[in-house]
Every structure is written in structure tokens, then in C-alpha cells.
Amino acid sequence: MVLDCLAALALAGALAGCVAPAAAVPAGESPVAAPAAVAAPAPAAEFQMLLIPLRADRALDRWHRVPDGARASFTSATALQRHDPVQILVALHGIGDLGDGTGRVELDVTLQHTDGGETVLAQAAPAWDGPLPRAGTVQLSRVPLELVIGNDQPYGQVQLTAEARDVATGRSVRAEAALNLVRWAFGNVPRDAEALTGWLLRYHDAPQPGQAVRAWLQCLSLAAEERAEWNPALLGFFAVVFGEQPRLVEHLLSHLQTRAAAIGDDEQAAARHEQQLFQAAVLFALLGTPERIDELPADAAHRARLRAAVADVTPRAPGSEPRTPQDVDWLWGEFFATGRFAPVAAIVSALREEPAAGSQPAATDADAEPPAAQTAFHAALSSLHANLPHQPLARNYLQTLWASDAISANERRWLAHLLSERERAAER
């Protein structure tokens, strides 16, 4: 389920209850003359703790998909696969006073495995050590905790156990959360190459990162001899998805190792496996980790050929402005992968430098090739025009940019043109 962080803390506050208010002084009596009528200090709040495992995938965090000022949301974890990142959220209420306005809470966190084993994730960690939070508030632990289960853990139910000790009062609280460790599946989505485009365009609405392994290996075909035909948008999409989800690389390697063991004398299966090894090598090069080619299930000579085949495949520098049509396409891939604001803003930045009147989007011959910025300008303008009717999120981003002070006059003029053109088309 999706759990808003603020709602989680409000829930913890509701469970903890409110601090009792001081009693009023009876009418007609002076608090100076009758000090006994003044209320005694409210009793200390009950010491409580809330434990919530959260999926730490950036792909599932909608905070990254909107302009500044939006609220965050998080996905709580009940089932996970090997290599899934899980953030352990611990919230505290009713921390005791050590006598000087400060408090200290020590936290133990353990993971009980299916086979009865145990892993200590934190021991006497300072979940709180400092000035007391305001009375009645819920405070997040200051100890960042993340859990990643590797290949050595058996499948089945595991249990997180947290115990917090309030040093000032000597009180302890305990909380548990069950997690089900399940197998990763290659799956059947997207179905094939025809379904790949639709899957990619809808991906940021409801990300399913685990499907990217099948999409890259099964539904995409990169021919080594046709490198000029590779779609930069696809490359940018998968570079972001795999780059932000390192666990997917582990699943990809595991799948290739399983397939390699099952090939036997099947020539078609061997050919498919050869193609998938090449695409894995391309992916590692795009991620800037070509050394991982050595982990592929192939002999040393084969791996050397793969390294040579992708030696000139390099990742795009993150944060760089688009200078070519390929850069613009790559940025669209980043947007399709994440739904984030930044790639769209970067595409719009290509409109800052407008080409001279009468120039063409592409040169007619090598000697007349226009500056790269002009080429990026035409690519940005045409791609925004083509995508706006089908990408309401991108259209919202353009409206945000148009109304902001972060763009140049030239960018604003072209955005106004694109947005008004879209409105006229909608009216028709």
C-alpha cells in the first residue's frame, strides 16, 4: 500500500494520545493566595514506537516526479525479493527527560531469517540523543537503517524486530514487522517487441522495475552492425531504470546464468543467448560499469569479444544540456522512465538558442552541417510538439516552466506557442 509519511506520523501521534492539559484555577481564587489550586505538571507521555518497512526504490517515490514543493509519498513493504532495498522507518513518541532537557533512546534492530538465523542490523544505536522534541510530537529515529537481502537467504517469511530503550525512564518498547521474501520472476510483461513501446510510454504512471529485465533482454533487439539505428530514447530509458535499481542487474545476471545452463544442443536458444549476452554488455557500458561483463556466463574469449564490441558505447553525462537530437531523445527516455520534471526542463533548455531564420532542421550535406545547438533546437521543438498530446504530465511541466522565472524569453515564447497550439487542437 502507499502510505503518506505525514499520515503515518499522524497515526503514530493518535496512537500515543494527547498530553493532558493543566487544570484551570477555580473561579474567584487567586493562584498566589492558594497555590494548591494550581495544576500539577502533566504526567509524562507514554513511550511508544512505530516500525514501518518502506520500499526505498526511487522509481516508486512520486516525490521525484513533480516540481519543487510537492509532498512525498512512500510505499510500505510487505513482500520483497532478493536485492530489494528496504528502508526501516522508526518513529518515537514520549521520549523521557534526562533532567537537562535532553533525551536518549537506544535502538536494537534484528532480522530473523526463515531458517532460524538472525542478523543484527543495529545495536544500541542512538535513535535519539539530544534536546527533547516538542511535547506531543512524533520524532523519526536519527539512525538511517536500510535492509537488502542477498542470495544467501532462503525464501519465506522473515521478521524485523525493533526494541527501543528510553535511557531517562528505563522503559522499553518493542515492535515487529513481517516480510515475505519471494522469488523474482522473469514474467511475461511486456509481451513482445510490439508491446514494448506502449509499455514504455505508460511506465512512469505505475513503475514496475522488475519488468525491465524482460523488456531489455526479450523485447529489444540491438544489432551490433546497425548501431546508428539504436534508439537513444530506449537507451536513456533503460540506463535510468537499471542505473537507479542496481538489484535489476543482479536479476539479469541470474536469469542469464539460468538460461546458459539450460541451452544444451538447442541452436536457436544458443543464438538468443548470444544476443542477450551482447545486450547485457551494452547495458553495462551504458551504466558505466563495463567491468561487469566479466560476470556474464561466457568463456574468457567470448567476454573479451563483448568488451571490444561495446568499447565505444558510453553513458550520457548526467545533467548536461542537450546538444544533439540524440541527447533530446535520450532525455525523453529519462522522462518515460521516471516521469520527472528535470528531463523535460532540460529538453526545453534546447529552445534557448534559436537558429537563424531560414535554417533547416538537418543539413543537406556534411559541409553544410548546422551547429549542434541548432539541431537540438529542432529536435526539441518537434518532439515536444509530437509528445504533448499524449503526455499530460509533460504538458503540466511545460505550464509550470512557462509560469516560472527559470527560463529565458526565447524558451517562454516557444512554450507559449506549443501550449496555445495544443489548446487550439483540443478545441477542434
The pLDDT value recorded for residue 355 is: 75
- The pLDDT, as a whole number, for residue 319 is 85
Q: Is the preceding peptide bond at 133 cis, omega within 30 degrees of 0? A: no
pLDDT of residue 427 exceeding 80: no
- Grid cell, residue 93, equals 513518541
Average pLDDT over residues 291-307: 97
Question: Given this model, what pLDDT does residue 206 score?
Answer: 81
| Type of residue found at 383 | S
Predicted pLDDT at 44: 65
CB distance 347 to 333 below 8 Å? no
What CA–CA distance (Å, rounded) separates 9 from 21?
22
| Per-residue model confidence as pLDDT tens digits over 141-198 | 999 999 999 888 899 999 999 999 999 999 999 999 999 999 999 999 999 999 999 9
Q: Region 402-410: what's the mean pLDDT?
A: 94
In this structure, are residues 111 and 48 in contact, taking their beta carbons and an 8 Å threshold? Answer: no
pLDDT of residue 374: 64
Torsion of CA 94, 99, 102, 105, to 10 degrees: -50
Please name each of the domains of the chain with its CATH number: 2-18+44-182 (2.60.40.3880), 193-309 (no CATH), 325-356+367-427 (no CATH)
What pLDDT is attached to residue 43? 59
5 vs 393 pLDDT, higher one: 393
pLDDT of residue 85: 86
3-state secondary structure the chain: CEECHHHHHHHHHHHHCCCCCCCCCCCCCCCCCCHHHCCCCCCCCCCEEEEEEEECCHHHCHHHHCCCCCCCCEEECCEEECCCEEEEEEEEECCCCCCCCEEEEEEEEEEECCCCCEEEEEEEEEEEEEECCCCCCEEECCCCCEEECCCCCCCEEEEEEEEEEECCCCCEEEEEEEEEEECCCCCCCCCCHHHHHHHHHHHHHCCCHHHHHHHHHHCCCCCHHHHHHCCHHHHHHHHHHHHHCHHHHHHHHHHHHHHHHHCCCCHHHHHHHHHHHHHHHHHHHHCCCHHHHHHCCCCHHHHHHHHHHCCCCCCCCCCCCCCCHHHHHHHHHHHHHHCCHHHHHHHHHCCCCCCCCCCCCCCCCHHHCCCHHHHHHHHHHHHHHHHHHHCHHHHHHHHHHHCCCCCCHHHHHHHHHHHHHHHHHHHC
In this prediction, residue 18 carries a pLDDT of 34
pLDDT level of residue 12 (50, 70, 90 thresholds): very low
Residue with grid cell 484555577, as numbered in its chain? 25
Identify the sign of the CA torsion 361, 366, 370, 376: positive
Query: How large a percentage of the chain has pLDDT more than 90?
Result: 68
The pLDDT of residue 292: 98
pLDDT of residue 56: 74
The more confident residue out of 424 and 365 is 424
Q: Mean pLDDT over residues 220-239, rounded?
A: 94
Q: What is the per-residue pLDDT for 71?
A: 55
Strand 79-81 versus strand 172-182 pairing type: parallel
Res. 207 pLDDT band, cuts 50 70 90: confident
Q: Give the model's pLDDT for residue 45.
A: 81
pLDDT tens digits for range 247-268: 999 999 999 999 999 998 899 9
> Residue 1: what pLDDT?
42
More confident site: 29 or 47: 47
- Is it the case that residue 9 has pLDDT exceeding 80? no
**CB-based contact 230:278 (threshold 8 Å):** no
d(CA 387, CA 391): 6
**pLDDT value of position 208:** 87
The answer to whether residues 54 and 87 touch, using CB atoms and an 8 Å cutoff, is yes
User: Residue 377: pLDDT above 60?
Assistant: yes
Read off the pLDDT of residues 113-155 as tens digits, 9 standing for 90 and up. 998 999 999 999 999 999 999 988 999 999 999 999 988 889 9
- Amino acid 16: pLDDT: 40
pLDDT at 151: 85
- pLDDT for the residue numbered 72: 54
Task: Decide if pLDDT at 372 tops 90.
Answer: no
Report the candidate in 204, 12, 174 with the shortest Cα–Cα distance to residue 94: 12
Answer yes or no: are the C-beta atoms of 84 and 149 closer than 8 Å. yes
- The pLDDT score that the predictor gives to residue 357 is 60
- Name the least confident of 143-147, 306-310, 424-428: 424-428
Give the model confidence (pLDDT) of 76-89 as tens digits.
889 999 998 899 99
pLDDT band for position 354 (cuts 50, 70, 90): confident
Please state, for a pLDDT cut of 70, what percent of the chain lies above it.
80
